Amino acid sequence: MKKILVVDDDSTLRKILQNSLEQRGYQVISVGSSQEALTKFSQDIPDIIVSDVSMPEMDGFEFCRQLRSQPSGKLIPFIFLSAKNELDDRIQGRTIGADSYLTKPFEMKELIADIEALIERSRRVHAEIVHLIEQLANSQSKSTAVQNKDTQDIKLQAEMIVQTTTPIANSAPKPLPLTPAEERVFWETIQGYTNKQISERLFISPRTVQTHLSNILSKLNLSNRTQLVRFAYEQGYEKA
């Protein structure tokens, strides 16, 4: 059963969301503030987060920033629900790290569609990570004893990725040798987005996305997207 963390200071809306989502088979954790959400997240990592923007003490934007600064919160699918419908607000929400931004009042069908699409995308990313790790393990030419130990370690790391959506590196990676614009494309790419999707999320043209991607591959001495994903998770690079 997939777990959803719902964050909104409107208790009535929280109740409506909880009932609707539970009827569709989701487990729902419902909280009324961003601070409480951070606490709940540290105790029990959900599969996806649905959060309001306008909340007292800490708004949704700051909540998203703090979440993305945590190792276990880098790749968690995140949806904003907000009464703020200005273009700048929508851009800010996506720039901070949200995967979707729906304005109130919204259709429950649209929210459910976003939730299911983001959970499926997350599953595909995790599966690709595990596949790349297994390929790496199989390509190593060590002695049988050492290779068996390495394979076991790698499988444990793969399981941890699937459970927590965190990179496998244990130490802090060096800063990426990329411009800010290239870094934004880097993080979108390793989450599994296509050039077209990245262009829509970052409000730039597909040609600009491809230019940035070519520069990224050149600077990191890589040949393609698959190598880029492997590089990111081997080295432990995480979204700021």
What's CA 209's distance to the chain center, in Å?
A: 19
Distance CA 94, CA 113 (A): 18
pLDDT tier for residue 3 given thresholds of 50, 70 and 90: very high
At 196-228, the pLDDT tens digits run 888 888 888 888 999 999 999 999 988 888 888
Phi, psi angles (nearest 5°) of residue 7:
-125, 115
State the fold for domain 123-235. Answer: Arc Repressor Mutant, subunit A (1.10.10)
Q: Per the structure block, which two tokens stand in for 48? A: 């996806």
At 121-136, the pLDDT tens digits run 888 888 877 777 777 7
State the fold for domain 3-121. Answer: Rossmann fold (3.40.50)
Q: What is the pTM of this model?
A: 0.58
Domain residue ranges in the chain: 3-121, 123-235
User: In which residue are the tokens 């990179």 written?
Assistant: 167
